Amino acid sequence: MSELPAQEPLVKEIPPKGADLSAWYTAVCLKAELVSYAPVRGCIVLRPHGFGLWENLQKELDARIKATGHENAYFPLLIPESLLNREAEHVEGFAPEVAWVTQGGQEKLEERLAIRPTSEVIIGVMYAKWIQSHRDLPVLINQWANIVRWEKATRPFLRTMEFLWQEGHTAHATAEEARTETEQMLGVYRDFAENVAAVPVYAGLKSASERFPGALETYSIEALMPDGKALQSATSHDLGQNFSRTYGIKFTDVDQQIKLAYTTSWGMSWRMLGAVIMVHGDDRGLQIPPKLAPIEAVIVPIVKGAETAPLEKARELAKTLRAVGFRIRVDERDRSPGFKYSDWEMRGVPVRIEIGPRDLAAGSVSLVRRDKQKGEDGSRVTAGFDAVAATLREQLDAVQDSLYARAKAFLESHTFAPADRATFFEQCKNRAGMIDIPWCNRPACETDVKNQTSATTRVMRELQQPGARCVACGEPAVVNAYFAQSY
């Protein structure tokens, strides 16, 4: 008989964020009821508040994906081993993380089935069936799915055995179309990160050692966390004809010649939520950007004794605000106002609306912003009942902007451009932030940096100083690259 899962760890207080980011992160995920640990090692349960975050990520990103002409579909979870093995480089890259099904019911399977670590294989096989002519191209498909990779460590959203993501897979007639698609989707991810998640990122090309297995080129967006580590937040891959060659994705072109299609893949997982938590949270708990927040504003009626007027007004106001599109919660719990204030601040709700007897008498409410400290200029505003919707929109927009501005300032102040090797290695080793140097783009150089400091390239961009030499090794530089330790 299997053992029951251990009791959920009790989090009485959230430890200071600056003292131990890892301990703070785990505590806030549990105390804010984003997740619970599942009885399966490496897996978590998304609780309603956490799933609400994922739903809003999905809604916002899905709209952007569809706006570029893509459609959603769904492909099987299980992949026959023989299909996976046909792409040797791809399999080699994922082999340590693949989970296998070897038995179904009482029947031992003749061929193992892989639980998808990603879907290039199964989608490639299907595209080979669907694509016959240049008239069938391009194929622009995205799927929202779960993925399994056999991770040894568990950190909610950042590293779990099963996780949620979207993965786009496209097929094109030319290399130029495929490259344009790859770069376009990188731009979509950057737009989402900065304008929805309020997380500033560096976007660019990955080095050969950081490239997706089987890809010609990989692009990514990289965010900087408070501990000086980078978090790869989304990737976009130009696969060239590698997967088409393996899985037979061919088409008859306008010149009547049979050619291989050019394919891409790109994805963002719930890792992005981990970035949101770490970048914006503080010692009081979460700070959720309004565009992602499951609850944009919570209304707290201040009720004394048997009076019901504040509660009735709160319900009325919530109905009015919901009717114009706001995500609103009324806190009707039998707890003190002070407890409710702290609890919703810990959960990261962007705005709190207070309604008490004095507010009713004055015909107004108080709106309190989560991103500001008590008493700080602009932390509390008053609005008449007829102006609450307009004022709430102004406050939510202000919170969204301020969270991004604060994160942007952190990224910029923790981006360094050392001119000498010793400073570069010291900053990489000490996790100073994003370390920007002219770089030679040699794998041996990157390996040396990684062995000495644990840092690797995050993304590359055009060389900023023609004729410069690599700060890491002294060889001629061909690009600029951001180095950092990473999650």
The whole-angstrom separation of Cα 452 and Cα 471 is 15
pLDDT exceeds cutoff 90 at 359: yes
User: Which of these ranges, 51-55, 135-139, 209-213, has the smallest mean pLDDT?
Assistant: 209-213
Residue 33 tokens, joined: 């009821």
pLDDT at 280: 98
* Residue 378 vs residue 49, higher pLDDT: 49
Helices (H), 120-236: 120-130, 175-195
* pTM, 2 dp: 0.94
Kindly report, residue by residue over 380-390, the tens digit of the pLDDT.
999 999 999 99
Name the DSSP letter for residue 68: T
The mean pLDDT value for 333-360 works out to: 96
Name the DSSP letter for residue 387: G
Spell out the domains of the chain, with CATH numbers in brackets. Answer: 59-280 (3.30.930.10), 297-405 (3.40.50.800), 415-484 (3.30.110.30)
pLDDT at 154: 86
Contact 457, 446 (CB under 8 A): yes
Q: How far apart are the first and last CA of the chain?
A: 37
pLDDT exceeds cutoff 60 at 6: no
Listing DSSP states for 440-477 in one string gives ---HHHHHHHHHHHS-EEEEEEE-SSTT-B-TTT-SBP
The residue written with tokens 């530089």 in the block is 477
Contact 198, 404 (CB under 8 A): yes
pLDDT exceeds cutoff 90 at 92: no
The mean pLDDT value for 317-345 works out to: 97
The whole-angstrom separation of Cα 358 and Cα 302 is 10
Angle subtended at Cα 74 by Cα 68 and Cα 75, rounded to the nearest 5 degrees: 125
Gyration radius (Cα) of the chain, Å:
25
Kindly report, residue by residue over 75-85, the tens digit of the pLDDT.
999 999 998 88
The whole-angstrom separation of Cα 66 and Cα 140 is 10
Mean pLDDT, rounded, of the chain: 95
User: Which of these ranges, 58-67, 118-127, 133-142, 267-276, has the smallest mean pLDDT?
Assistant: 118-127
Share of the chain above pLDDT 70, in %: 97
pLDDT at 153: 77
The mean pLDDT value for 441-457 works out to: 98
The model's confidence at residue 182, banded by pLDDT at 50, 70 and 90, is: very high
pLDDT at 1: 39
The residue written with tokens 């099963």 in the block is 162
**3-class DSSP state for residue 231?**
strand
pLDDT at 7: 60
Kindly report, residue by residue over 282-306, the tens digit of the pLDDT.
999 999 999 999 999 999 999 988 8
pLDDT at 212: 92
- Which residue type does 170 have? T
pLDDT exceeds cutoff 80 at 87: no
User: Which of these ranges, 2-6, 24-28, 191-195, 203-207, has the smallest mean pLDDT?
Assistant: 2-6
Q: 10 Å Cβ neighbour count for 398?
A: 18
pLDDT at 105: 95
The mean pLDDT value for 434-450 works out to: 98
The model's confidence at residue 2, banded by pLDDT at 50, 70 and 90, is: very low
The whole-angstrom separation of Cα 340 and Cα 300 is 7
**3-class DSSP state for residue 157?**
coil
pLDDT exceeds cutoff 90 at 88: no
pLDDT at 91: 65
The model's confidence at residue 90, banded by pLDDT at 50, 70 and 90, is: low
